Structure 1
């Protein structure tokens, strides 16, 4: 996929330092971050450091944009094992954009390029808490298949969480075109 390619007004692009104020809209919103594995951002300076030292250098971390404004983020993280054929997808969207199809469009855009951008990738996994029905719908609309419930799978924010695991295979992409 070309950088910045649009689908129904949503596009993905690399993060830039100028995105820090937009980033703070969702990253400092406790209603948004309660569903995330990471803590709520309290400082613009910490957010700026994160964008510069993590988001901008990450191999696959994009701003989800409507127009040219960053309204969320999406990433693909490969397993620490360099021979791995899988990556985990993560996404977050500012509350103002919930229920408008922005996350679904971003996931579709990510899948349209992920298997090209990441040689050897065969499987993208999404991990979602059972009570996060909106995120489950995002993955299902993108063609992910729920494989099961992982009990006591990940600790975050002081508690152990159960997570549904969803998968999208490179062969699923070929079947949907």
Structure 2
């Protein structure tokens, strides 16, 4: 699915490669980017390469968000197992120098369209977003995710229990309905 905006037309999704290590370090090494992620800021090229090889590549569905084939972030979908395999969790991040330019929205639109094809049994995507992460909440809403609830003291991140919003996107929902 191509983005309708020419400013985001260079955005693509692809599996991570070991050669992404330097680009990965440039955004995953930024505390502003990793603030809401469950993993810590990456501090060296070696750590970036290890993360790509041991976490990103083996992951069931983790893609590099690329701007003209350079990694500027990631989107990740992890389906549940067993009787809960009809739903999956989605997470994403984009380098802070690219915030506010529509790249996260374009990447998430592409991911949502692709994921339902990749996982035919999937009916529901869920995103948990910390209350104060207004930028991420706006991205989800632009893509068409619906806020379903506020979960008090729900998520544990960086040593704290935090309040979270639950967003959902169903297979039959329309992408980009709230632009």
Q: What TM-score, normalized by structure 1, do the two folds share?
A: 0.91
Distance 2:71 2:83 in 1: 30
Aligned partner of 1:139 in structure 2 is: 140
1:37 deviates by 2.1
Is the 2:77–2:91 contact (alpha carbons within 8 Å) kept by the matching residues of 1? yes
Give structure 1 stretches of 5+ with no counterpart.
none
Give structure 2 stretches of 5+ with no counterpart.
none
Over aligned residue pairs, what C-alpha RMSD do you find? 2.1
1:82 deviates by 6.3
1:18-74 CA-partner distances (Å, limit 9, x unpaired): 000010111111121112222111122122111012211212100000101010001
1:84 deviates by 1.7
Are residue 29 (structure 1) and residue 30 (structure 2) matched?
yes
Q: How does 1:1-177 map to 2 (within 5 A)?
A: 8-81=9-82, 83-173=84-174
Is the 2:66–2:72 contact (alpha carbons within 8 Å) kept by the matching residues of 1? yes
SS in 2 for 1:76: strand
SS in 2 for 1:65: strand
Q: What TM-score, normalized by structure 2, do the two folds share?
A: 0.90
Which one is further off, 34-43 or 113-122?
34-43
SS in 1 for 2:172: helix
Moved over 3 A (4+): 80-83
1:81 deviates by 3.9
SS in 2 for 1:99: coil
SS in 1 for 2:168: strand
Is the 2:79–2:87 contact (alpha carbons within 8 Å) kept by the matching residues of 1? yes
1:148-176 CA-partner distances (Å, limit 9, x unpaired): 111111211110011100000001149x7
